[in-house]
Structure 1
Amino acid sequence: MPSPVKEARTERGSPTNITGHRLRHSVGKADLPAVAETRRLLRDNLRRWGVPALVDTAELLTTELVTNALRHTGGGADLTATLSPGPGNRLRIEVGDSLTRRPPAGAAQDEARSAAAGEHGTSGRGLLLVEALSDAWGVRPRGSGKVVWFELRAA
Structure 2
Amino acid sequence: MTGRQGEAGQTASGCGRESGAQREGRGLLHRRLGCADLTAVPEVRRALRELLRHWRGQDTKDVAELLASELVTNALVHTDHGAVVTATVAASTLRVEVRDFMAGLPVPRAPAAHLDTHGRGLVLVQSLADAWGVHTHGVGKVVWFELHGRPV
* 3-state DSSP of counterpart to 1:114: coil
- Distance in 2 (alpha carbons) for counterparts of 1:118 and 1:141: 30
Structure 1 residue 120: deviation in Å?
2.4
Q: Residue 6 of structure 1 corresponds to which residue in structure 2?
A: none
Q: Residue 51 of structure 1 corresponds to which residue in structure 2?
A: 55
Q: Residue 97 of structure 2 corresponds to which residue in structure 1?
A: 94
User: Is the Cα–Cα contact under 8 Å of residues 117 and 125 in structure 1 kept in the other structure?
Assistant: no
Q: Which runs of 5+ in 2 are unaligned?
A: 1-17
TM-score normalised to structure 2 length: 0.79
More displaced stretch, 131-140 vs 114-123: 114-123
User: Is the Cα–Cα contact under 8 Å of residues 26 and 51 in structure 2 kept in the other structure?
Assistant: no
| More contact order relative to length (CA 8 Å, sep ≥ 6) | 2
Does 2:89 align with 1:83? yes
Q: Which runs of 5+ in 1 are unaligned?
A: 1-11
The correspondence for 1:119, drawn from 114, 128, 131, is: 114
Q: Which structure has the greater CA radius of gyration? A: 1
Percent identity between the two aligned chains: 47
The correspondence for 1:28, drawn from 10, 34, 37, is: 34
User: Is the Cα–Cα contact under 8 Å of residues 105 and 141 in structure 2 kept in the other structure?
Assistant: no
| Amino acid across the alignment from 1:20 | R
**Segments ≥4 residues shifted beyond 4 Å:** none
Q: How many residues align?
A: 131
* 3-state DSSP of counterpart to 1:75: coil
Instruction: Give a deviation string over 1:79-134, Cα, whole Å, max 9, x none.
Output: 1111112xxx11100000012xxx5xxx545xx11354322212001000001110
Larger helix percent: 1
